[in-house]
């Protein structure tokens, strides 16, 4: 039996992923925020908010440590190429498995609890920041360290075959967990990137009270999928390779809801793919992290990591997706194949605070912009724009006449 490679390596940055920490290109602070930051008391609160959060987290970790809790890693789906992998996980505290005794009554109570799962449960966990851990890729061990919020997000060298693979996480307390990673083939040229809120799932997230209800209270089984968006994803994967096309979900939601979102996507037949989420906690500069900057920086990161892939960007017209995608296309016109925007209904637009103005980004755009209220309409528009093949045309037939140019205008 061949010996397993277990040496610990000081992991260098893969060539395709240098300078991962980018400076956001957009200023998400409003004039009111900038004015408030100029006030000394307000500035003092902001500068100390993240320290208070760290202190509270440390106290919680010490308390559960006394009860015998161990550090475990909650793994998330990753991605990469044949030479590197982006490993994603979150460190939190959990009771040891030996303490959980099996009984029929406990099993029945657990089944009843799982029938109604509230979002707040994911926020009740105790995360552990700045904790060392190990990522095992094809038998090679890589020493890593979580950030102050307990998140592990790092690119590591690897040598894996294209398609789905598995990597292993090992916590400081020797608790192991595994995560799937999608390895993109070197010859792949098209990928799918989709927003989640109001794009694949109806949430009306910009309204704070409604966002809190959807995130903390609403039963995860009662969340509503957007009509036809799973069919759109299926059409795209069928057109460009079901087992070769990378699918990435980019959202401003917190990492706490990653398991909930993954279950929602799987239950509603969306293709599997990594979730790129963020942390709602304070930073030295802000009380809350900027969701806009989170999306901008991850898009730029994907452009650097996959220089040969053109992305089909899917979003909605109720948040900043059009602005983000338009600016990204201006910076990287050769990295975008098409932009598909789902139009919110009148009631959804009201809850979302109105529709975003998109004429500026669509003017003289180098790629097609298509609009429709559901996935079926977007698939039709992408077909008319020549991005997706026409399923109504018989195989082997051709059309002598050149297709007319399609101009799609969104509904104001």
From CA 258, how far away is CA 274, in angstroms rounded? 10
What three-state secondary structure class fits 19?
coil
Residue-wise pLDDT tens for the chain (412 aa)?
444 444 444 443 443 443 343 333 344 555 655 665 566 666 666 667 667 777 888 888 899 999 999 999 999 999 999 999 999 999 999 998 744 444 444 444 544 444 444 555 566 788 898 999 999 999 999 999 999 889 999 999 999 999 999 999 999 999 999 999 999 999 999 999 999 988 998 875 544 554 555 555 555 566 789 999 999 999 999 999 999 999 999 998 888 888 888 988 999 999 999 999 988 666 666 666 677 889 999 999 999 999 999 999 999 987 689 999 999 999 999 999 999 999 987 666 555 555 565 667 777 789 999 999 999 999 999 999 999 998 776 555 444 443 443 334 444 4
CATH no. of 190-384: 3.40.50.1000
Residue 27: what pLDDT? 47
Cross-sheet strand order for the sheet of 8-9: 8-9, 140-145, 132-137, 163-170, 176-183, 70-80, 84-94, 151-157
Dihedral over alpha carbons 90, 92, 98, 103 (to 10 degrees): -90
Closest to 136 in 3D by CA, of 96, 169, 89, 183: 169
Where in the chain are the domains?
190-384
Identify whether the C-beta of residue 303 lies closer than 8 Å to the C-beta of residue 335.
Answer: yes
- Residue 395: is it exposed, middle or buried by C-beta count within 10 angstroms (0-12/13-18/19+)? exposed
Helix (H) or strand (E) holding 292, with range, is: helix 291-305
């Amino acid at each position: 039996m061949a010996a397993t490679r277990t040496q610990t390596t000081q992991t260098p940055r893969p060539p395709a992923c240098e300078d991962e920490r980018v400076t956001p290109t957009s200023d998400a602070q409003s004039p009111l925020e900038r004015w408030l930051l100029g006030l000394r008391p307000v500035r003092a609160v902001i500068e100390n908010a993240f320290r208070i959060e760290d202190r509270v987290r440390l106290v919680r970790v010490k308390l559960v440590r006394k009860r015998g809790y161990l550090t475990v890693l909650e793994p998330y789906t990753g991605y990469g190429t044949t030479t590197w992998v982006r490993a994603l996980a979150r460190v939190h505290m959990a009771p040891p498995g030996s303490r959980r005794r099996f009984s029929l009554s406990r099993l029945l109570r657990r089944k009843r609890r799982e029938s109604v799962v509230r979002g707040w449960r994911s926020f009740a966990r105790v995360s552990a920041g700045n904790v060392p851990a190990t990522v095992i890729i094809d038998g090679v061990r890589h020493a890593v360290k979580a950030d102050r919020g307990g998140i592990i997000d790092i690119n590591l060298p690897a040598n894996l075959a294209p398609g789905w693979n598995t990597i292993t996480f090992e916590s400081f307390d020797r608790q192991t967990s595994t995560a799937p990673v999608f390895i993109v083939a070197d010859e792949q040229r098209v990928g799918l990137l989709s927003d989640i809120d109001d794009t694949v799932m109806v949430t009306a997230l910009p309204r704070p009270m409604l966002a809190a209800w959807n995130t903390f209270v609403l039963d995860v089984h009662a969340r509503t999928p957007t009509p036809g968006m799973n069919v759109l994803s299926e059409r795209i994967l069928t057109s460009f390779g079901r087992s070769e096309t990378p699918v990435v979900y980019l959202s401003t939601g917190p990492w706490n809801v990653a398991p909930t979102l993954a279950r929602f996507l799987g239950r509603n037949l969306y293709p599997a793919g990594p979730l790129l989420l963020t942390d709602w906690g304070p930073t030295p500069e802000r009380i809350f992290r900027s969701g806009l900057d989170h999306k901008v920086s991850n898009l730029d990161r994907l452009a650097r990591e996959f220089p040969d892939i053109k992305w089909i960007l899917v979003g909605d017209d109720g948040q900043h997706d059009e602005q983000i995608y338009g600016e990204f296309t201006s910076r990287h016109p050769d990295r975008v194949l098409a932009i598909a925007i789902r139009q919110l209904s009148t009631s959804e637009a009201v809850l979302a605070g109105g529709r975003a103005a998109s004429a500026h980004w669509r003017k003289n755009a180098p790629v097609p912009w298509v609009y429709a209220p559901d996935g079926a309409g977007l698939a039709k528009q992408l077909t008319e724009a020549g991005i997706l093949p026409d399923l109504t045309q018989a195989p082997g037939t051709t059309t002598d006449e050149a297709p007319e140019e399609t101009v799609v205008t969104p509904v104001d």
